[in-house]
Amino acid sequence: MSALLDVILPVFLVIGFGYAAARWLSFGEAAVDGLMRFAQSFAIPVLLFKSIATLDFGAEAEVSLFLSFYIGAFTCFGLGFLGARLLFRRPLEDCVAIGFICLFSNTLLLGVPITERAYGPGALAGNFAIIALHSPLFYIFGIVMMELVRSHGRLADPLSLIRQILRGVFTQPLVIGVLSGLAFNVSGLPIPAAMAGFLDLITRAAVPAALFGLGGVLLRYRPEGDMKAIAMCCVLSIIVHPAITYGLARGVFALDRDQLRSAVMTAAMAPGVNAYLFAHNYGVAKRVAASSVLIGTASSILTIWLWLHILP
């Protein structure tokens, strides 16, 4: 119970405060949008830049760490896609979007603060190693799958697809933050003192602002209909994905304690807001995506508590 009170609840109380402010305290949609724009377009990319620029990839970016997390993620995409198609008879475009919901965990806004509160700032290296690939890899995969489905597997203009992938991936501020951090990391240059001070100031605001804003955003996501599909997405995202990751990390790849914690806690997070944005951009399965973000985030309070007790 202490894990629930000390680690998980503070994070979700900030989200709840944002939800209450948007619902009852006149923190309107414009204010929520402005805060989320600051967090997702500026503060969080700066946090990613700083974390990845100073990350020791030689120590943390082991193939086994990536395989433990990403095999679980892509397995859940496949299960979500097949479930949507075979169980719920959804159109193929919906199936891709539903699979993407099961694939795209909220690794940053939830995974980072909860892992930090549970195990300390020193335990985040594995989280950021996973996050470095997360958005670029999943957006490329999701866009390619959606275009293949829409073209019935026959791409008349591969160059157009490549342009769409590049536009979809490299206009994302989070991806820009990741790639900038990777470039700085590879350069081997030290971060100047003035720049380090700037990074510290911005990054202190990043996660609290993003969590508060996330609470305001969740107010808009009303669970309506499609409850079986939504339940499937939530189960795959917050139960099946971390279970697969735990089994691989511990039983197959024998990750060390810190890597095991990072992989499983990152996998245990609910679907991220980007899963809804992906569905919204293509105009498919938007209700399933929105409700899965809301219900999955609320339900993950208990499942994260369970994983904190299981992990060493």
Domain layout of the chain by residue ranges? 2-310
- What would the mean pLDDT of 125-134 be, rounded to a whole number? 88
- Residue 154 is predicted with a pLDDT of 61
What's the rounded mean pLDDT across residues 63-67?
93
Read off the pLDDT of each residue in 291-296 and give the average, rounded to a whole number: 90
What is the band of 175 on the pLDDT scale with cuts at 50, 70, 90? confident
- Higher-confidence residue of 153 and 296: namely 296
How many CB atoms within 10 Å of residue 55? 20
In whole angstroms, give the CA distance from residue 96 to residue 78.
9
What pTM value is reported for the model?
Answer: 0.86
Per-residue pLDDT band at 111 (split at 50, 70, 90): very high
CB-based contacts of 124: which residues, under 8 Å, 6+ apart? Answer: 51, 112, 115, 116, 262
Range name among 1-5, 24-28, 111-115, 246-250 with the lowest pLDDT average? 1-5
Percent of the chain exceeding pLDDT 70 equals 93
Q: Residue type for 73, please?
A: A
Q: For residue 103, what pLDDT band results from cuts at 50, 70 and 90?
A: very high
From the list 15, 8, 82, the residue with the least C-alpha distance to 236 is 82
Q: Is the pLDDT of residue 38 over 90?
A: yes
The pLDDT score that the predictor gives to residue 163 is 77
Mean pLDDT of 242-262: 95
- Report pLDDT for 57: 66
Phi, psi of 208 (to 5 degrees): -60, -40
Pinpoint the alpha helices (H) of 151-220.
158-170, 173-187, 193-218
Query: Could you tell me which of 97, 83, 76, 79 has the C-alpha nearest to residue 143?
Result: 97
Per-residue pLDDT at 212 exceeds 60: yes
Contact 129, 55 (CB under 8 A): yes
What pLDDT shows up at residue 159? 77
- Would you say residue 60 has pLDDT above 60? no
Helix (H, G, I), strand (E, B) or coil at 75: helix
**Confidence at residue 58, expressed as pLDDT on a 0 to 100 scale:** 62
What is the predicted pLDDT for the residue at 283?
A: 85
Confidence band, pLDDT 50/70/90 cuts, at residue 149: confident
Q: In CATH, what number does 2-310 get?
A: 1.20.1530.20
Q: What is the pLDDT of residue 250?
A: 94
- Give the 3-state secondary structure of residue 275: helix
Which token pair is 75?
A: 């397995």
